[in-house]
Amino acid sequence: MRALREKLSEIYENLGLPRIIIIGFFIVLLIAAVPLGLSVPNLLGDAIRRWAMYGILVLAMVPAVECGINLNFGISLGIVAGLLGSTTAIEMGIPNPWTSLFAAMAIGVLVAIPLGIGYGILLNRVKGSEMTVSTYVGFSVVAFMNLVWLSLPFKSGTLIWPLGGRGMRNTISLASSFGGVLNNFLGVQIGDPTQGLYVPTGLILFFMAACVVVWLFLRSKTGLAMSAAGSNPMFARASGINVDMMRILGTTISTALGAIGIITYSQSYGFLQLYNAPLMMGFHCVAAVLIGGATVRSAKISHAIIGTFLFQGILAVALPVANKLLPGTNLADVMRIIISNGIILYALSKTKEGS
Amino acid sequence: MDNFKDKVFNLLNENKVVVLFIVLCIGAIYVSGDPLTFVVRELFARIGRNGFMVLSLLIPILAGMGLNFGITIGAIAAQVALFWVVYWGFTGIEGFLLTVAMATPIAMLFGWLVGKLFNTMKGAEMIAGMILGYFADGLYQLFFLFIIGGVIPVVNETLIIRGGVGVKNTIDLTGNLKYALDTVSMLSLAKIGFWVLIAILGLRLVLRLTRKLEGPLTSDLLLLIGAVAIYGLIQVPAIEGFLATDRLLLLDGVIIAAVALAAWQVWRIVSNKIIRRDEDFSIWGPLAIIAACVVGYLLTYVDYVREILVFVEIPVATYLCIVLLCVFNNMLLRTKLGQDMRTVGHSRVVANVAGIDVDRTRIIAMMLSTVLACWGQLIYLQNMGTFATYAAHTQVSLFAIAALLVGGASIQKATNTQAILGVILFHTLFIVAPQAGTQLFKNPQLGEYFRVFVAYGVIAVSLAMHAWETRPKQVVPIKVEEKPEVGVAGGTSEGE
């Protein structure tokens, strides 16, 4: 009995109150869905789709935290790089969805790498306040890209406003390029199409592959050096690791993953969202990895996987449940704001920064 | 001569942000082709609307807590009170004062909670304030969308979404609180000022009688005579007629300001040179200001300037509030509390050694800022006349902080002047940017996005500059001879 209690209190210590509330909330939502007449397989399918869809964006947090720049609120940098890659790929008018997808990713990563290096150099200059700076750097980049989206001389009909309008549309359909190409690859429909569970196998495989790559990298010599630089810079420097270089590396990888992440997200969603859409996306990614058990100073790949599933799972289930309970309201949206910012605030209050 | 050159260079270098934005504003006004009458009128409306909010940021900067991104929470307190006052049907200045009376305790409570939270995360107040703002926004939405009408019964067809749960997107303040403060006439203000002065003098008299206050009575008597004379003066029909309005023509405002400023400088010269015979006092400074006043007055006779000045009216009561807040910010510095805040801002360790209760001082700073931000939001909303229930508070911290920084303030130091200058520059840019975008690129949207980018960009640059300059200095010298790139100075010291 005593051992059990100790075990429970240990779990409580490890999880922290907010996470227990979130897990409890998820379970309650799932249970509530049954009497409300919602199809649980359907909800679960939705949760899985959203999990894999957001997964890589959240995964991008891991190298950032590990290399010591803390939570990367500036992931919007990678996101806009990915969007730039996608729009360029569409402009090129590649008919094959796979080629189009990989072209988008290649261009996105190519844009993300110099951006990430510059961003890493900046963050090396502002050690100790990375999160404060990166939040507003992220916002500024999104605001700056608003100007770019309006001015890019793209011609493709799917990109620009019809009838001679100037600039690109707010949402761009991916139906004619790479929309759903990963989702539908080896996709399996379990049960009937409206009530059943659809497994987007290709999307999950891609997410898992990304996780494995990052995992391998973190186990490599460079990866271990990077983690050391992040967790104990003084010790790392004493052992001959170039800490600043490692931080730039981690930031760049995070930014590149952000670019790949948003492309994966968009192909699943079916649309590219430009302008202010990526403004708060960084916050959701940060919240997800924190829910998974990460802290400001350490994050594992498992945190990203679990956290994304819990966070997106809650949203996937909460939306229809809230709509059944209080039709026509955005209760789920409000819950998302409270949960995501609440968990970030909790994580920040747990780290003693400054004095 | 070289000395002068250096001085000018230093001045420009120290104020490079301001200089940049002055150039940007002038360029944007020129390109946009907007008539100056329009720009100036819009600008003065916006100073009245936003000035108070920007000034509410100063106290936390003094206390070393950086830019208070948590003013969103003050705005939320204001909006909660505003909703109930509108729902109960109060109108006019009474309604406004009731809103203030109701919002202030809420804001104090919120400010206390924020201060408590910030004390647990010292050094990370800014990021915490940002996230806290978003978190509070979530709770606010929960309250306004589901609790009002859902838990608390509220029945009102114009305010509540059909179905009875949740507040509508916009609340029209026309007919209840719109211009509630702006329309308080100068006459009422003068009368209120008179009675407040009488009350203060009476209090001092009581204190004198009970021997708690010593000193000659002359200054009090002089004040009383002055006050009564002014009170008598406002009974004169001509002056009463002038004061009965609530808006002051900018032309009159400029003349009054010039005369008042000149009179004050004359008083300074007289008191320092003739009465106290202060040898160190230089009369050139005051004389220069008097000359500037004269030039300013003469400028009002230039047709072009006059045309603008006649076109603009300022709401006196609102501007008075802003001036009072400036005075309050200055007075605070002379009190023990203000000095404590400054010490805490410089170094918490030193403050602690000096016996200052650091945590308490920081909490007070947050409470003051939150309450002031709350009032600022009320001033803003009564001037706007429409209350966007779910949007009015979301951009508050972004625009207020950007304005302050544009005025040349930094994260450690900000003054009233910088705040006001910042509001002027930032909002000039806001007024002309869409039109400038249209003229330059045939696209008004571009101008709008540009001004938002400026707001975010200026904050990002300031935060980065601040972090750059103040990053931890305690570099542990580790000599690693084989790897020369390792022992770079100014490196990290993040290890706990």
Which residue intervals of chain A are DSSP H helices?
A: 2-15, 17-33, 40-59, 61-67, 76-92, 97-125, 130-151, 201-219, 221-231, 233-238, 243-269, 281-291, 301-325, 331-350
Q: Does B436 touch chain A (CB under 8 A)?
A: no
Tell me the domain boundaries of chain B: 2-158+316-470
The distance of A155 to chain B (nearest Cα, Å) reads 18
- Closest partner CB to A128 (pick from B132, B146, B467): B467
Q: In this complex, which of A140, A240, A283 lies closest to B457 when CB atoms are compared?
A: A140
**What's the angle, vertex CA B254, arms to CA B251 and CA B256, rounded to 5?**
105
Which residue is associated with the tokens 């005051």?
B286
Select from B68, B135, B145, B169 the residue whose CB has the most chain A CBs within 10 Å, as the one to mutate to test that interface: B135
Which ranges of B143-216 would DSSP assign to H, the alpha helix?
186-209
With 0-12 / 13-18 / 19 or more C-beta atoms within 10 angstroms meaning exposed / middle / buried, residue B288 is: exposed
- DSSP assigned state of A161: P
What is the pTM assigned to this prediction?
A: 0.86
Using CA atoms, how far residue B228 sits from A155, A269, B275, B446, in Å, is 75, 74, 26, 57
Beta bridge partners of A171: A273
B69-to-A244, B114, B244, B418 alpha-carbon distances in Å: 30, 11, 39, 18
- Domain tally, chain A: 1
- Residues sharing a CB contact under 8 Å with residue A174, sequence separation 6 or more, in sequence order: A86, A90, A180, A266, A267, A270, A271, A272
Vertex B366 angle, CA B363 and B368, to 5°: 110
- Please say whether the dihedral angle defined by the alpha carbons of residues B122, B123, B129 and B132, taken in this order, is positive or negative: negative
Contacts of B495 in chain A (CB under 8 A): 232-235
What whole-number distance in Å separates Cα of residue B288 and Cα of residue B282? 11
Task: In whole angstroms, give the CA distance from residue B407 to residue B51.
Answer: 12
Taking alpha carbons only, the member of A66, A49, A58 closest to residue A343 is: A58
The CA dihedral of A220, A225, A230, A234, to the nearest 10 degrees, is 170
Question: What's chain B's Rg over C-alpha atoms?
Answer: 26
Residue A261, domain member (yes or no):
yes
pLDDT of A33 higher than 70: yes
What ipTM was predicted for this assembly? 0.86
End-to-end CA distance of chain A: 41
Q: Kindly state whether A243 is in contact with chain B, defined as any CB-CB distance less than 8 angstroms.
A: yes
pLDDT on residue B471: 62
The C-alpha atoms of residue A51 and residue A66 are separated, in whole angstroms, by: 22
Mean pLDDT of A274-283: 88
Contact status of B443 with chain A (Cβ, < 8 Å): yes
Nearest CA in chain A to B136: A338
* Chain A residues closer than 8 Å to B145 by CB: 329-331, 334
* B496 inside 8 A of chain A by CB: yes
Q: Is there a contact between B132 and A345 if contact means CB atoms under 8 Å apart?
A: yes
**Smallest CA–CA distance from B69 into chain A, residue:** A132
The one-character DSSP state at B235 is: T
Contact B445 A132 (CB under 8 A): no
Question: What pLDDT, on the 0 to 100 scale, is given for residue B2?
Answer: 65
Residue A324 lies in a domain: no
Answer yes or no: do A129 and B491 touch at CB < 8 A. Answer: no
- In terms of CA atoms, which chain A residue is nearest residue B168? A329
CB contact (8 A) between residue B480 and residue A237: yes
Give the span between the Cα atoms of B161 and B380, in whole angstroms: 24
Q: Which residues of A touch B456 (CB under 8 A)?
A: 136, 139-140, 142-143
Closest-CA distance, B52 to chain A, in angstroms, reads 24
DSSP result, A307-321: HHHHHHHHHHHHHHH
Indicate the helix (H) or strand (E) that contains B119.
helix B92-120
Gap between the Cα atoms of B318 and A114, Å rounded:
50
Residue range(s) defining the domain that contains residue A259: 51-277
d(CA A259, CA B186): 59
Grouping H, G, I as helix, E, B as strand and the rest as coil, residue A352 is coil
pLDDT for B1 equals: 55
Cβ atoms < 10 Å from Cβ of B275: 8
> Whole-angstrom Cα distance, residue A31 to residue A27?
6
| DSSP states along A261-289 | HHHHHHHHHTEEE-TTGGGGHHHHHHHHH
The 3-state DSSP class for residue A189 equals strand
CA–CA min distance A71, chain B (Å): 11
Q: How many CB pairs under 8 A join A and B?
A: 176
Name the residue in chain B with its Cα closest to that of A125. Answer: B468
Would residue A6 count as lying in a domain?
no
Domain B2-158+316-470 has CATH 1.10.3470: yes
- Cβ A338–B139 below 8 Å, yes or no? yes
Yes or no, beta carbons of B495 and A235 under 8 Å apart: yes
Token pair belonging to B92? 């006019």
Tell whether A350 is within 8 A of chain B (Cβ).
no
**B 102-141 residues with CB below 8 A of A?**
117, 120-124, 126-128, 130-132, 134-135, 137-139, 141
A240 contacts B445? CB cut-off 8 A? no
Residues of chain B with Cβ-Cβ distance to A125 below 8 Å are 464, 467-468, 471
Question: At a CB cut-off of 8 Å and minimum separation 6, what does B358 contact?
Answer: B344, B348, B351, B352
Three-state helix/strand/coil letters over B270-307 = HHHHHHCCCCCCCCHHHHHHHHHHHHHHHHCCCHHHHH
CB contact (8 A) between residue B146 and residue A331: yes
Between CA B102 and CA B104 the distance in angstroms is 6
A334–B463: do the CB atoms touch at under 8 Å?
no
Q: Hey, of B348, B401, B449, which one would you mutate to test binding to chain A, going by the most A CBs within 10 A of its CB?
A: B449
Is B122 close to A338, i.e. CB distance below 8 A? no
In a domain, A314, yes or no: no
Q: Which of A137, A240, A243 sits opposite B491 (nearest CB)?
A: A243
Phi-psi region of B385 (alpha: psi -120 to 50; beta: other; left: phi over 0): left
Token pair 């203060």: residue: B200
Over the Cα atoms of chain A, what is R_g? 21
| pLDDT for B105 | 95
Spatial CA neighbour of A82 closest among A178, A6, A1:
A178
Of residues B479 and A223, more confidence is placed in A223
Residues B260-300 pLDDT 10s: 888 888 888 887 777 777 777 777 888 888 888 888 888 88
In a domain, A339, yes or no: no
Element (H, E) at B249: strand B247-249
Under an 8 A CB cutoff, do A353 and B124 touch? yes
* Residue A226 falls inside a structural domain: yes
- Angle (CA) B195-B199-B205 rounded to 5° is 140
Top residue of A71, A73, A129, A329 to mutate, by most chain B CBs within 10 Å, is: A129
pLDDT tens digit sequence for A183-194: 777 777 777 777
Residues ≥6 apart with Cβ < 8 Å to B244: B185, B186, B187
Q: Does B310 touch chain A (CB under 8 A)?
A: no
Find the range with the poorest average confidence among A21-35, A304-318, B157-171, B463-477.
B463-477
Tell me if B460 and A140 make a contact (CB, 8 A cut-off): yes
d(CA B319, CA A26): 52
Q: Which two tokens stand for residue B286?
A: 């005051």
Task: Give me the residue from B348, B456, B466 closest to A143, CB to CB.
Answer: B456
Positions of chain B with pLDDT lower than 50, given as ranges: 474-496
In a domain, A294, yes or no: no
B348 interaction partners in chain A (CB closer than 8 Å) = 355
Phi-psi region of A188 (alpha: psi -120 to 50; beta: other; left: phi over 0): beta
* % of chain A residues with pLDDT over 90: 26
In a domain, A250, yes or no: yes
Chain A residue with CA closest to B455: the answer is A140
pLDDT the model gives residue B482: 39
Give the pLDDT band (50/70/90) at residue A41.
Answer: confident
- Nearest neighbour of B445 by CB, restricted to A128, A150, A244: A150
Q: Which of A132, A330, A351 should one mutate to test binding to chain B, selecting the residue with the greatest count of B CBs within 10 A?
A: A132
Residue B445 in tokens: 């949207």
Cβ-based contacts of B394 with chain A (< 8 Å)? none
Q: Hey, what are B339's tokens?
A: 């000095």
Q: What is the pLDDT of residue B400?
A: 92
